Chains A and B, each alone.
Chain A
Amino acid sequence: MKYLIYSVVTIFLVGITAGGFQHFSILHAVPQLVLLLVILVAAERKNLDYLFVAIVGGVLLDFTTSIAFGSYTLSFLVIGMLAKFLFEDMLLARSPLKHIPWVVTSAIFVQHLWIWLYNGTLIRFHSSYIPLRLSEAMLIAIGAIIYTLLLLFPAYWIIEKLNDYIEHLDNRKKY
């Protein structure tokens, strides 16, 4: 049941980004809602749920953005694992909300850098067709950071509620 909820939420986020936020872009960028979901699930949940969200969201975005397959899936997985490591094994576990803004900022930069590098490499092997410029990728990253941080706290609140609901489902399953 929880995987169905995660899938629906991820599809919904990709849908509203494509249909809604695209019309209100900041510096040509839209908020990175799926990335935010991956980081928040990694920070809030004690299991590997973030990997599921990273794979579903990554595959959806890889297909819809026309860039090389793996650009989003692999970056979400790596960012999710790093976020998990930071929030669980390092000091950040004490107050995750305080650290989420800079984690999100770094994650968006890393992700855009990765997409540029990955696509640039795959173009040489004829597996990607749309070249990206580093300067544009970085400018879009700045726009995406501003937009994502603006939506961070409402998103955090929604993920908290989602988390409570999934925990409630998990507990009901146990007993």
Chain B
Amino acid sequence: MKFIYSRAFLIFVVVLVLTIVFLFLQNKGYVDRIRTAIMQAPRPIAQATQVVAVPVKSFFGALFGIRGILSENTQLKDQLYRMQEDLVLLDQYARENELLKQELGFKNKSANLLESCTVLALDPEGLTDAMVLNCGEEVGIRPGQAVISQNHLVGKIVYSGNKTSTAMLLTNPQVDIDARVSKTGEVGLITGSFNSGIIIDRLSQTAPLEREDVIVTAGINSLVPRNIIIGQVGEILSTPTDLFKKAAIVSPIEFNSLQYVFVVK
């Protein structure tokens, strides 16, 4: 009983009340400036630490994976030869396609409208697989829009305030984005997988799916345009007895090192 008259309890109650007020103001979009300002505080330290941590991680990663790198190198060389052959064919198809479009009077589709954003914070505790961006409703950002980096899809906006927004990364298990296998057009669902990165699920069991097949967005959701690259098929995770086919997706993006991204408007 003595505890409720203590200073510690009084401070706790004050903080609790302030938290409720803050949550209310946040819903109304009044706290973005304070949030942005406070988030700047640990950024210089985080960036300075990253300068050391990323090369150290790459060095030890390369050291442990040297055998894998050698076999990967051989595979990549083979792949390069095959792709050079494909490229010749693709050039031919592109020329044909262009001619046919002109013939049919199709207008050239304009490129997606992109908004460049700085990543203010990536969840340092690893609980949410989300990031805070320095752009919000003021520049046309709204929930559901796609976030890309190096021409690859990295996530989608889940909340937008006036000046900041929050994006859920593709590695978050709660994310779901429609996608298709570029080669076959088979449609599936992209979702994050705890500790396994990204997976494509809900593919028809009869759909042909091979390693290194490119996965792109399907464009069923109007806020996520078609044909944004997500990654390549890695390991096939489902067995023939499963209802749907499921595979791990390998993305070249380092999700925990993102600094700048684009939001597709």
Contacts and interface: CB of A to CB of B under 8 A. Distances in A.
* A and B interact: yes
A30 B126 contact: yes
A70 B47 CA distance: 26
Contacts of B166: 66, 129-130
> Interface size for chain A: under 10, 10 to 19, 20 to 34, or 35 or more residues?
35 or more
Interface in A127-141: 127, 129-133, 136-137, 139-140
Contact of A127 (B9, B26, B42): B26
Contact of A74 (B8, B16, B126, B131): B16
> Interface size for chain B: under 10, 10 to 19, 20 to 34, or 35 or more residues?
35 or more
Interface in A145-175: none
A136 B9 CA distance: 32
A24 B57 CA distance: 8
Q: Is the interface of B mostly helix, strand, loop or mixed?
A: helix
A24 B45 contact: no
Contacts of A112: 127
Contacts of A131: 174
A65 B124 contact: yes
Which of B7, B123, B124, B173 is packed against the most chain A CB atoms within 10 Å?
Answer: B124
A28 B194 contact: yes
Given A28-B195, A48-B8, A77 B124 contact: no
18 contacts: A11-B41, A15-B44, A18-B49, A20-B50, A22-B256, A23-B257, A29-B125, A29-B126, A63-B121, A64-B123, A64-B132, A66-B130, A67-B123, A67-B130, A81-B9, A129-B158, A130-B128, A140-B127
